[in-house]
Structure 1
Amino acid sequence: MDNAAGGQARLTAYRSGLLYFIGAPSEGEHAAVHCEDGLLVIEDGRIVAAGDYARVAPGLEADVPIVDWRGKLIVPGFIDTHVHYPQTDMIASPAAGLLPWLETWTFPTEARFNDPGHAAEVARYFLDELQRCGTTTALVYCTVHPVSADAFFTVSHARNMRMVAGKVLMDRNCPEALRDTAESGARDSEALIQRWHGTGRQMYALTPRFAPTSTAAQLGVCGELAQRYPDVFIQSHVAENSEEVKWAGELFPGHRSYLDIYDRFGLLRPRAVYGHCIWLDDDDRRRMRDAGALAAHCPTSNLFLGSGLFDVARARQCGMHLALATDVGGGSSFSMLQTMNEAHKIARLCGYNLDAQSMFYLATQGAAQSLGLAGQIGTLAPGAEADFIVLDPQATPLLARRTSQAGSLEELLFAFAMLGDDRAVAATYVAGRRLHVRSNEIMQAQTERVVAWV
């Protein structure tokens, strides 16, 4: 039977269209691996085979169950590289811009996360929402409270999801209820690293919120932790808003740029992920490239808060590592398909055509590569962890009408990106176990239908 809660087969196959990437579409025409009638074989939470049904199926034993998803498209689970789980309940809150939005909505909402029960309840809802939208890995901001990170990791670990998260560091320019110190922030972060980094599929991220809310002392000890634990992640914000850039310059005089602040404290390196990166120049873009750091492009958030337009063309010309992110609650949707929609439009406003294959690559293999997780997630290649989703080209009447006329893979994926949302995700699998199925009787019946190969 299907690897759903309540019953797991050791070896299970899934028949469907398949799509994953072995390279960046912008660098070659053979980057995509696409099987119109494919078979994905899972054993003990890992992918053991993926390819054309006619080639893979004869190698299976007769008693291996095959879950029939024909007419759908299986792709790797989406990777969201920048999102705030405590902001779930304040999504779509009105404000005049980034800084007043933080003061009016964000800080009061996050102050409630000193309550472990509240933190756990929001974490459960947040992960439910990610699964519903097809996101299987995310880089997640908790709050300044260590219990917020403990609650998140506890819920994620119970679901066996590969998540990256961290306690926020803030020791100035924030409400007292959300303020730690350089010493307490470092102590709490190190304890969380030792408790959670590498526990199951959980991974830790050192998380200074952004330079204006941390003193030089706090960024300094954060840099020391980054050196002591080189395999942990770093996540923060940079150059999101022009007023924020000016403020950072006033607080840290003598630095070449906002990005230079982080670099001076040893926070620019592989596995460092910086949200937004809108107001960088080419020198900073190349600096991020050379450091192996990743820019998390947050299109729905940037449009919602009026922060600016991320220049994909300049990022690519400078060789900057790039991935996509929702940035909920500044972002207005948990859906990576909706995020692709807005990313395409922003690129067009900047005079650049961001094609659909590139957007799917950035949300899967491209993100995994930049995070140092290539071969583990973001792919359907044998040996990878079996995090995958089933996309339904007939999820809505309009999507069905458009995809029925698609004459190429690019056209099909573009329709998903422009017209799709959570309804297009028929099912989400994590480590080979189905954690979400679209909730209507027809989809439920199809998910449980298993056919034996003849």
Structure 2
Amino acid sequence: MSSVVATTAVRGRFLDIQNTVAQAREIHDQVRYVEDGLLISQNGKIQWFGSWQEGQQHLPVGVEVQHYLEQLIVPGFIDTHIHFPQTEMVGAYGEQLLEWLNTYTFPTELQFSDKAYADQIAQFFVQELLKNGTTTALVFCTVHTESVDALFEAAGQHQMRLIAGKVMMDRHAPEDLCDTPDSAYADSKALIEKWHGKGRNLYAITPRFAPTSTPEQLAKAGQLKAEYPDVYVHTHLSENKNEIAWVKDLFPEQQGYLDVYHHFGLTGSHSVFAHCVHLEDAEWDCMHQTDSAIAFCPTSNLFLGSGLFPLNKTWEKQVKVGLGTDIGAGTSFNQLQTLNEAYKV
């Protein structure tokens, strides 16, 4: 049985960055601009890209070329940290982090035990990402497995690449938003088996942040990471000074905030830590040594008054960094707007 191959051809002005850069001064060398280019794809995968002059010979017979000569065509944006359950609370009055969580975030997230509600928000969330040019995102869900199912189902309708996971949280939160070490492990394991690597979906082990997980739960998160080494880890780190002090009170036996995660086996090349506004030197070194990554979230760092992220330090210490909108503490789905705020910082 022959399969139908859907071929598209787009002509226009193309701009992309060809490689990840370790230093700011390297960016210029990696920018590629094609004034009059052609991109040919089959079934959603790029088959050929280059200049229009050279590309015409590669056009399959009968394929209609779409012309966007007045537009600038760029790859889809990658959002390295965003909360889909917080879509409805963007711009909630700017308390600082811990007060903001208790006042706005937790009450909002309680609604996601209802699958129909989770489906509704997931559909809207995915459309907002696409509308703003974001085609890949690393996403927080809620503690409810229903929220993960809703998000992956919505993303699958568009063949989006989403990396997401169920929040693990067994203390310092409303009772109805808490799981246990064992239930968090069992639910996460079942979701990994159900979704990770299925289509374009990838899973992230997702402890909310160290204060809302007991040592027993973080040990279970580390156990999952050891059992499924190709899944991601996604959590928060050193966003707010009161949060950092709280972590030191809760985990006095560890050397600092990042050491809590490192102790439980949660650092590594697939680990992304959001914010990292106030890292200490030893933590920067650990980030580099473990090949862990940072999600820089300028709009939420400013909105919640968390502080100014030291971007130059990431290049100095050779730590991977990406950009996150952090909806809903962040104030825009648009990565260009987020870049605008990052530039100001």
What does 1:301-340 align with in structure 2 at a 5 Å threshold? 301-340=300-339
1:3-402 map, 5 Å: 10-23=6-19, 24=21, 26-27=25-26, 29-346=28-345
Give the superposition deviation at 1:11. 1.6
Matches within 5 A, 1:434-449: none
Moved more, 140-149 or 14-23: 14-23
Once the two structures are overlaid, the 10-residue window that deviates more, 54-63 or 317-326, is 54-63
Aligned residue for 1:76, secondary structure, equals coil
Kindly, what percent of the aligned residue pairs are identical?
Answer: 46
Distance 1:266 1:61 in 2: 50
* Partner amino acid, structure 1, of 2:266: L
Counterpart of 1:447? none
Query: Are the aligned partners of 1:282 and 1:314 in contact in 2 as well (CA < 8 Å)?
Result: no
Q: Secondary structure at the match of 1:165?
A: strand
Spell out, residue by residue over 1:117-160, the C-alpha distance to the aligned partner (whole angstroms, 9 max, x if none): 00000000001100110000101100001111111111111221
Which amino acid counterpart does residue 210 of structure 2 have in structure 1? A
Q: Any conservation in 2 of the 1:252–1:261 contact (CA below 8 Å)?
A: yes
Q: What is the CA distance between 1:73 and its match in structure 2?
A: 1.2
The code of the aligned residue for 1:31 comes to: Q
5+ residue gaps, structure 2: none
Deviations 1:245-287 (A, max 9, x none): 0000000002111001000000001110000001102321121
TM-score (norm 2): 0.96
Q: Residue 239 of structure 2 aligns to a residue in which SS?
A: coil
Structure 1 stretches of 5 or more lacking a match?
1-7, 347-454
Does the 8 Å contact 2:94/2:303 carry over to 1? no
Deviates more, 1:52-61 or 1:113-122: 52-61
- Give the CA deviation at 1:203: 0.6
Question: How far off its partner does 1:65 sit?
Answer: 1.5
Is contact 1:286–1:319 with CA below 8 Å preserved after alignment? no
Superposed CA deviations along residues 291-329 of structure 1, whole A, max 9, x for unmatched, are 111100000000000000000111110001100000000
- Which one-letter code corresponds to 1:344 in the other structure? Y
CA distance in structure 2 between the partners assigned to 1:59 and 1:323 by the alignment: 35
Q: 1:287 to 1:338 in 2, by over 3 A?
A: same
Query: In structure 1, what is the Cα distance between the partners aligned to 2:147 and 2:95?
Result: 28
Greater relative CO (CA pairs within 8 A, separation 6+): 1
Q: Structure 1's 65 and 101: CA in aligned 2 closer, same or farther, altered over 3 A?
A: same
Alpha-carbon shift at residue 106 of structure 1 (Å):
0.1
CA-CA distance at 1:29 after TM superposition? 4.0
Tell me how far apart the structure 1 counterparts of residues 260 and 60 of structure 2 sit (CA, whole Å): 58
In 2, Cα distance between equivalents of 1:95 and 1:73: 35
**Shift of the alpha carbon at 1:71?**
1.2
Post-superposition Cα deviations, 1:51-74, rounded to whole Å, max 9, x if no partner, equal 111111223234221101111111
Normalising by structure 1, we get a TM-score of 0.73
**Alpha carbons 1:282, 1:318 under 8 Å: kept:** no
Q: Shift in Å at residue 28 of structure 1?
A: 6.0
Distance 2:60 2:155 in 1: 34
Q: CA RMSD in A?
A: 1.2
Partners of 1:98 and 1:28 in 2: how far apart? 33
Q: Which moved more, 1:279-288 or 1:306-315?
A: 279-288
Deviation, 1:9, is: 6.5
Are the equivalent residues in 1 in contact too, given 2:40–2:59 (CA < 8 A)?
no
- C-alpha displacement at 1:243, in angstroms? 0.4
Compute the displacement of 1:236 (Å): 0.2
* CA displacement 1:161-208 (0-9 Å, x = unmatched): 111110000000000010000000000000000000011111100000
Q: 1:163 to 1:56 in 2, by over 3 A?
A: same
- Give the deviation of 1:242 after TM superposition: 0.4
Partner SS for 2:246: helix
Asked if structure 2 preserves the Cα contact closer than 8 Å seen for 1:170 and 1:208, the reply is: yes
Q: Deviation per CA, 1:368-392: give whole Å up to 9, x if none.
A: xxxxxxxxxxxxxxxxxxxxxxxxx
Distance 1:62 1:164 in 2: 38
SS at the partner of 1:30? helix
SS at match of 2:29: coil
Q: Distance in 2 between matches of 1:28 and 1:253?
A: 41
